[in-house]
Amino acid sequence: MSAEQTPSQLRAWISQHLEPLDEKILGSLEVRSDLSLDPARAADNTIAWKPAAVLVGLVEREAGLSVLLTRRADTLRSHTGQVAFPGGRSDPGETPWETALREAQEEIGLDPSLVELAGLSTPFRTAGTGFQITPVVGFVAPDLKLKANPGEVAEIFEAPFSFLMNPANLAQQERETPAGDRRRFYAATWEGQYIWGATAGMIRALYDRLYGVAVA
């Protein structure tokens, strides 16, 4: 990617590295998981993964692209207070892009007409909750007016795409789980917002996809 690219060239460059919006390919995509950095603890392949999707919204600001993110409400039963993309579990018969747009509208009031879908990034499995999350990348018009659903979202914010696509800012970290073992994951901090777990894993997978690193 060149710093001299026009917005339309940047859109084309990102889009050409994504998978098409095609239901036929969903079962054949390479997948990452929250255990990808721990090969000895590979996820159980017998799990019946529940489909989910998130919107990786790239907002086209004058200063450059920014990534639309949320901080989950403190009242939720799982992943309380964590940074996440807008998204959630798919309803029966929904495509990932239908899920992503519906959830973004429900969670942050994003009008689907303001999103130009570009394609799919690398699916991500969360072994603890049994979801397979498909990241749907879309370009978002800058004149968006958002409103957080207080039952699901505590805060809406944006982080620069260039910051998240800098591997120096998205480093591997490690912590001890309640079970007493060690877990490795990617994490970044932007203006006090700690981005880690599945969200950071999907960001790293997008970086690898765009910049030619093999998807693991």
Note the pTM of the prediction, 2 decimals.
0.92
What is the CATH number for 76?
3.90.79.10
Q: What's the CA gap between 121 and 201, in Å, rounded?
A: 11
pLDDT tens profile 70-113 = 998 766 555 456 899 999 999 999 999 999 999 999 999 999 99
- Spans in the chain with pLDDT lower than 50: 79, 215-216
Q: State the total domains in the chain.
A: 1
Query: Domain range holding 96?
Result: 7-20+47-160
Is residue 171 included in any domain, yes or no?
no
